[in-house]
Amino acid sequence: MSTTVIDSAVMNDSLTSKLQRRKRLVLKQDEQRYFDEATAWEIDRQRTSARSQTVAWWIAGGASVIAALSVTAVMLLTPLKQVDAFVVRVDNTTGIVDIVKSLRTGSTEYNEAITKYFLAEYIHAREGYSRPLAESNYDLVTLMSDPNERRQYEVYFDPVKNPKSPLKIYNTEGEVAAKIKSISFLKKNTAAIRYRRIQRVGSSTTQSDWIATVSFRYVNSPQAEQAREINPLGFLVSDYRTDPETVLQNAESPSDDSTIPVPAPGASP
């Protein structure tokens, strides 16, 4: 019996030893699995961090490039930026507003200024009258008008064909001056000229506001040397119309029809 007890005890010890060994093996395997999983998690975390850093660097690099381009663009555009001061002028009579521009360097603005000069000269000569200057003004208007407008003006100015010709109405007793108020371009070759017509006959003075619509062009046709001195660039008016802008003002009532303002042909009746 003692032998049986001993064998049983030996078997129990052996079984316990096996269980302990198996338990240690399981624990070792679990521990190894834990370390493997921990290592994999750490590797994933490092990869994610590295990927995030890469993306962040790309974003920062792109933002830096955009910022550098923006600064460069501003630096390049800064010399082109300028503040233009301008004067707004309001006519006391009509209330019409226009902007007084300054002349700056540049072919477009100088060409515009030259055209305005010719338009002003044309209005002064066509709408104004002074017996000593009548011939020179007549030459200027005919040289700066195309054939159709030239014929109309010749008929208008001829005292034989037109009883309201300035030569017949004013002769040496009166004069008319045209004071330019503004010149604006309606389109490329059409301008609107606002002017004040000042008529003096004896001691009587009449002022009226008018607006002329002028179509023009430049031609390179052969001209005599004398004509070149008056119209060197070949400025030609192809259509001319003038209309009253306001009623007569500051006028002393004329005693007869001879002092009634007589606009050039093209004025509305």
Query: CB within 8 A of 154, min separation 6: which ones?
Result: 142
258 in Cβ contact with 201 (< 8 Å) = yes
pLDDT at 25: 67
DSSP class of residue 249 equals B
- H helices of 78-160, in order, are 107-127, 134-143, 147-157
Helix (H, G, I), strand (E, B) or coil at 221: coil
Q: Is residue 125 domain-shared with residue 154, that is, in the same domain?
A: yes
Cα distance between residue 174 and residue 167, in whole Å: 10
Task: Give the count of domains, the chain.
Answer: 2
pLDDT at 77: 78
Rounded to a whole number of angstroms, the CA Rg of the chain reads 49
Q: Is residue 159 domain-shared with residue 225, that is, in the same domain?
A: yes
240 in Cβ contact with 146 (< 8 Å) = no
pLDDT at 53: 86
Q: Is residue 91 domain-shared with residue 37, that is, in the same domain?
A: no
Q: Is residue 110 domain-shared with residue 65, that is, in the same domain?
A: no
Cα distance between residue 36 and residue 195, in whole Å: 98
Token pair listed for 102 = 């300054």
Please give the span between the terminal C-alpha atoms of the chain, in angstroms, as a whole number: 154
Q: Is residue 38 domain-shared with residue 134, that is, in the same domain?
A: no
Q: Is residue 44 domain-shared with residue 5, that is, in the same domain?
A: yes
pLDDT at 253: 38
Any idea what the Cα angle at residue 57 is, between residues 55 and 62, rounded to 5°? 95
Q: Is residue 99 domain-shared with residue 36, that is, in the same domain?
A: no
Instruction: Give the residue from 27, 52, 81 where a domain finishes.
Output: 81
Instruction: Give the residue from 81, 99, 115 where a domain finishes.
Output: 81
Domain encompassing residue 179:
87-259
DSSP class of residue 86 equals -
196 in Cβ contact with 212 (< 8 Å) = no
Cα distance between residue 247 and residue 207, in whole Å: 9
Give 132's strand partners.
none
Cα distance between residue 18 and residue 12, in whole Å: 10
Strands 87-90 and 174-187: unpaired
Q: How many residues does the chain have?
A: 269
Q: Is residue 91 domain-shared with residue 74, that is, in the same domain?
A: no
Closest residue by Cα to residue 200 from 180, 170, 223, 228: 170
In this structure, is the dihedral angle defined by the CA atoms of residues 12, 16, 22 and 26, taken in order, positive or negative?
Answer: positive
pLDDT (tens, 9 = 90+) of the chain, 269 residues, equals 555 655 566 566 666 776 677 767 666 776 777 777 878 888 888 888 888 888 889 999 889 999 999 888 888 877 766 666 656 666 666 666 666 555 454 444 558 889 999 999 999 999 999 989 999 999 999 999 999 999 999 999 999 999 989 988 888 888 999 999 999 999 889 999 999 999 998 889 999 999 999 999 998 765 677 778 888 888 999 999 999 986 544 444 343 333 344 455 555 44
Cα distance between residue 252 and residue 206, in whole Å: 7
Instruction: Give the residue from 81, 99, 124 where a domain finishes.
Output: 81
Token pair listed for 238 = 């192809």
Burial (CB count <10 Å: 0-12, 13-18, 19+), residue 193: buried
Residue 166 lies inside a defined structural domain of this protein: yes
pTM more than 0.85 = no
Tokens 């037109």 correspond to 162
